[in-house]
Structure 1
Amino acid sequence: MTRLILFIASFISIQCQSQTNSANDKKNRQEAIIKEHVYDCADKINYTVMMKEYQDCLDAGLKKDSTIAYLWQQKAMPYFKAKKYSVGMPLVDKAVQYDEKKWLDYRAFIKCIFAKTYKEAIVDFETCIKKFGNSYVQDHTYAFYIGLSYLQLNEFEKAETVFKTDIEDQSKRFGEGHYLDLFYYGISKYEQQKWEEAIIEFDKSLKQYPEFSDVQYYKAICLARLGKKEESSLLLVKAKKDATSGYTINEDNAVYETYPYKVRRW
């Protein structure tokens, strides 16, 4: 009996080691493909003017291993920046298929900020929260994007609830909510004509980012609706000056997409 137990234990150990070695071999092989076809090929090409050559690099890598999620994501990325969402989305779907944990939140972000398919974005982000917790993508929580999506769907009460909960969580962890979360939380109240409550959140945002012109603009509207015309006019003058100086929503991807409620005309 003892020999049998030892034999079984030894067999299991060998099997586990074999599986580990196989996984390591696959990882090393895929990393080599990524190096050859992304870092040493696609990354050296300006896809804005040489899209075919860029895509050819990645396609050559996928011929060697079509299960490398990063190659699919890299194929999708420039199409999103070119606003070709229908071309890019099936590619990023492939990335999610082969590595959901890595790329599901990225796809959800793309749906929210780029493709603007807000209902689908909410579904993806809620799945992310269920599976991985309320983590971060592109510097903001999953809940942030859910709230933003509800704003864009005109479901303002839902947006307010989501932002309120998320900001409370951020405050517990970091001492305060992010100024962009506070801005959109204020917007959720603004859209419900809760002028005083909106101003409270706008002021919290401005405390962190005093020159935030978009916040100043919406706060000025709230002041006007409350009959504070002179204060509103002075704030609008400052907002326009700060906007001219570039103090607006400065997210990395704002160069490709206009974020909701950004003031585009002054």
Structure 2
Amino acid sequence: MKKIILGCSFLIPFLTFAQVPKNKTQDAIVKQSLDSCAYKYNYTFQMQEWQSCIDEGLKKDSTIAYLWQQKAMPYFKCKKYEVGMSFLDKAVLYNKQEWLPYRGFIKCIFSRTYKEAITDLEECIKLYGNGYVMDHTYSFYIGLCYLQLNEYDKAEKVFDDYVNDIYKNRQQLEHPTAYFYQAIAKYELQKWDEAIAIFDKALKIYPQFSDAKYYKAICWLKLGKPKEEVVALVGLAREDAAKGFTINEDNTVYETYPYQKKFSK
């Protein structure tokens, strides 16, 4: 794209004036496409109707990033990742700051393209700082990617920094999922005692956390804890999991999170 520099004093008020009706027009298109059309359908069994509503809006203005994201989103939930990503890329094209973090999240949790996710999320941090997407910082998802790529030393550092940051600098409430993945990094590095101590922090907040109990039991086994105690803790984990007490992220409805334990029935 060529950079055009104009020295006309009337340019600024002209651009300001032109931007307002464009935004109002886009707002009207979004409301018509979504509130008055797509949101009347359930995309799990009315995908064509949902998509047709959004397509009509995009015919009027193909630069509306939110419509591209709404077009992509149901496909991820239906596990049609490549289809969804082609539309999400358009959302990033038209509003990078809004949708690049979301794309990094999707690549980490849904499509599981971990190296690509790291690239997106590191760019987010470089451009916008270590912000939040889906309740966690960008670095949190980078840590998950490192775990899934077997780069445990990197994961450990990311999660240690993440926990220190959110509890000291951001002054947030303690989060059991944050502790869980910090402990998992220690677990993979065979730091059994450290992992147990952090799993216990997660369990103090969330006593029925089945995944934390399961991996704590494995740490016990590695440390030579009596077999009956290990088996008993795994039994408790199984009971809690059967009641739905697992990783409590919103998107576990659609995807199994890294290290989330699924017990056979």
TM-score bin, normalised by smaller chain = over 0.9
Q: 1:115 aligns with which of 96, 111, 117?
A: 111
Task: Please tell me the root mean square deviation across aligned C-alpha atoms, in Å.
Answer: 1.5
Give the Å deviation of 1:13: 6.3
- Which letter maps to 2:248? N
Aligned to 1:184: 181
SS in 1 for 2:75: helix
- Which letter maps to 1:250? N
- Which letter maps to 2:82? S
Give the Å deviation of 1:193: 1.1
SS in 1 for 2:28: helix
Is 1:167–1:176's contact at 8 Å kept on the other side of the alignment?
Answer: no
- Which letter maps to 1:100? K
Between the aligned partners of 1:188 and 1:245, the Cα distance in structure 2 is 26
Q: TM-score, normalised by structure 2?
A: 0.93
Is 2:72–2:87's contact at 8 Å kept on the other side of the alignment?
Answer: yes
* 127-136 or 13-22: bigger deviation: 13-22
Is 2:77–2:254's contact at 8 Å kept on the other side of the alignment?
Answer: yes
- Which letter maps to 1:227? G
Say whether residues 1:212 and 2:209 are aligned partners. Answer: yes
* 223-232 or 114-123: bigger deviation: 223-232
- Which letter maps to 1:99? N
Is 1:125–1:146's contact at 8 Å kept on the other side of the alignment?
Answer: yes
The C-alpha deviation readout for 1:110-129, integer Å capped at 9, x for no partner, is: 00000000000000000111
Give the Å deviation of 1:198: 0.7
Is 2:238–2:263's contact at 8 Å kept on the other side of the alignment?
Answer: no
Is 1:168–1:177's contact at 8 Å kept on the other side of the alignment?
Answer: no
Aligned to 1:6: none
- Which letter maps to 1:254? T
Give the Å deviation of 1:201: 1.1
Aligned to 2:48: 52
Aligned to 1:253: 251
Give the Å deviation of 1:252: 1.1
Aligned to 2:232: 234
Between the aligned partners of 1:72 and 1:106, the Cα distance in structure 2 is 13
Structure-to-structure mapping, 1:30-179, within 5 angstroms: 30-172=26-168, 173-174=170-171, 177-179=174-176
SS in 1 for 2:72: helix
- Which letter maps to 2:94? Y
Q: TM-score, normalised by structure 1?
A: 0.92
Is 2:72–2:83's contact at 8 Å kept on the other side of the alignment?
Answer: yes
Question: Which structure has more helix as a fraction of its residues?
Answer: 1
Between the aligned partners of 1:176 and 1:57, the Cα distance in structure 2 is 41
Give the Å deviation of 1:175: 5.8
**Structure 2: tracts of 5 or more residues without a match:** 1-6
Closer/same/farther in 2, CA of residues 65 and 223 from structure 1, 3 Å limit: same
Between the aligned partners of 1:200 and 1:256, the Cα distance in structure 2 is 30
Give the Å deviation of 1:243: 1.4
Aligned to 1:202: 199
Say whether residues 1:222 and 2:219 are aligned partners. Answer: yes
Between the aligned partners of 1:252 and 1:220, the Cα distance in structure 2 is 26
Between the aligned partners of 2:240 and 2:80, the Cα distance in structure 1 is 33
Between the aligned partners of 1:223 and 1:50, the Cα distance in structure 2 is 49
Between the aligned partners of 2:198 and 2:174, the Cα distance in structure 1 is 10
Aligned residue pairs total 256
Runs of 4+ in 1 over 4 A off after TM superposition: 11-14
* 96-105 or 52-61: bigger deviation: 52-61
Closer/same/farther in 2, CA of residues 187 and 43 from structure 1, 3 Å limit: same
Q: Percent identity?
A: 59
- Which letter maps to 1:236? V
SS in 1 for 2:110: helix
